Structure formats: C-alpha cells, structure tokens
Amino acid sequence: MEKTVIVMPVANEESTMEGVLKEIMELPYDNLYVYPVIDSYSKDRTEEIIRDMEKKYDRIRLIFHKASRGVITCYLYGFKMALQDGAVRIIEMDGGGSHRPKDIPLFIEKLDMGYDCVWGSRFMEGGDIMDHPLYRRILSSGGTILSNVVLGTRLKDMTSGFEAFQRNILESMDLDAFLSRGHMYQTEMRFYCRKLNTVEVPITYVGSKSSIKLKSVTEALSLLFKLKKNEKNIWKKELKG
C-alpha cells in the first residue's frame, strides 16, 4: 500500500495538537501517516502530547529536528525523513489548526489523479479565510498578485502552506538549496514547480494569533527577485510537466 506522509512542523500547540492529530487519524486512509516535526523552540506540552499520541496510533511519528533554524527548515527536514521512510506522496500542512484535516481528501484525490503538486488556495472559488486580521489578508492576496507579476506564475494563491507532492518531485530537488527561511518559502516552492502538472484546490484557512514582522516582509520582497537566478540550483534532474 502506497504510503502518504503529512509533514507538520509544530511548536507550542498544546491547545490544538491532540485534536488535530486525532481528526487526521480518523480519516478513512490506512496508509496516511503524520510526522509532526518539533524543535527546541517549543516550550509547552506539545512534544509530550505527540508522544502520548504515538503510543495510541502507529501512524504518528514524532521528528525532533535538533539543527532547526526555523519552521521552514523543519518542513524540509520532515520531507527528507518522509522520503527516507518510503513515502510515495507527501502533504505539507500547519499543525496549529489553521489548516483543516477535513480538507486533506481534496489533496489525496488530486494526487491519485496523477498531479505532480497540489496547492491549497484560499482565494479560488470555494476557498475561504476565517478569523484572520485584515492586514494579513491584504499581505497574502497582495503577495500573490506581486509574485504572479514578478515570477510569471498564474496561481490564485502563492503564499498558502497547505500543499502536496508526489515523491519524485521532492526527490528531484536539492532541499538544501532553498533560499527562504520564512514565509517566502511557499512562494519559492510554487515558482520552482510552475512548469509541472499542478492544480489548486480550495481550502478554508482558520486564522492564527501569530503576527508578521516588518523584517519578514522586507526579506520576502528581497528574495522574490532572486528566485529566478536560484532555480538552476534546485533541480538535481530535469522534470517535465
């Protein structure tokens, strides 16, 4: 049976962690595994909760990333672990409740249809954003418009962190060559995969309490104009869409 792994960086999520994992485990997929990736930034009971859930479900595996430099390095480290463990498809999602487990079947359905990458979109028909500050909505929608103009992409959502990949896509990438260490990573990934067979699916994003610092925005803008030059460093072998 083909193994699908959800890579889920988590930190200080004790209020939502058990519920999110339980909801995923209750989905009708015996081959769906969850790899929560945690680092020393997490100071509450999140790790303890995950370890308790590991004992109840053999499809949950805690990954501790000792060399973490932030959430994006946790994503990429989780990808490596999932590939190492034989994952055929990999889904990336947030562990704090912003991404709804009930939307996961949309990604699996499109992967089953043969798409290389599946992007979660808040801004297409059927997508939505709940309980999110207006300025965050403006940043996300404005970032999508600017990214499409600068990078020549045509997606409805260039900044969502809910996405999925076939194994060969991530295998063909040098995951250590990504430039982003913050929110720009989502846009960077979509740009590199723009020529592949991809599709967007509608998701409902549930707002978080986290804020975005001005420094993160300026760094993202700076990186936006470096992605085309870095593309040659990403692909270890050529892929055709």
Give residue-wise pLDDT tens across range 119-135. 999 999 999 998 767 76
At residue 100, the 3 state secondary structure works out as: coil
pLDDT digits (tens, 9 = 90+) for 157-186: 999 999 999 999 999 999 999 999 887 999
Residue 84, CB half-sphere, CA atoms under 13 Å: how many?
9
Distance of CA 144 to the CA centre of its chain: 16
pLDDT score at 221: 80
pLDDT digits (tens, 9 = 90+) for 85-118: 999 999 999 988 999 999 999 999 999 999 999 9
Backbone region of residue 30 per phi and psi (left: phi > 0; alpha: psi in -120 to 50; beta: other values): alpha
Strand 4-9 with 89-92, pairing: parallel
pTM: 0.93
pLDDT score at 209: 56
Task: List the domains of the chain with CATH numbers.
Answer: 4-234 (3.90.550.10)
Mean of pLDDT over the chain: 92
Helix residue spans in 63-205 (DSSP H) = 71-84, 104-112, 134-151, 167-171, 185-192
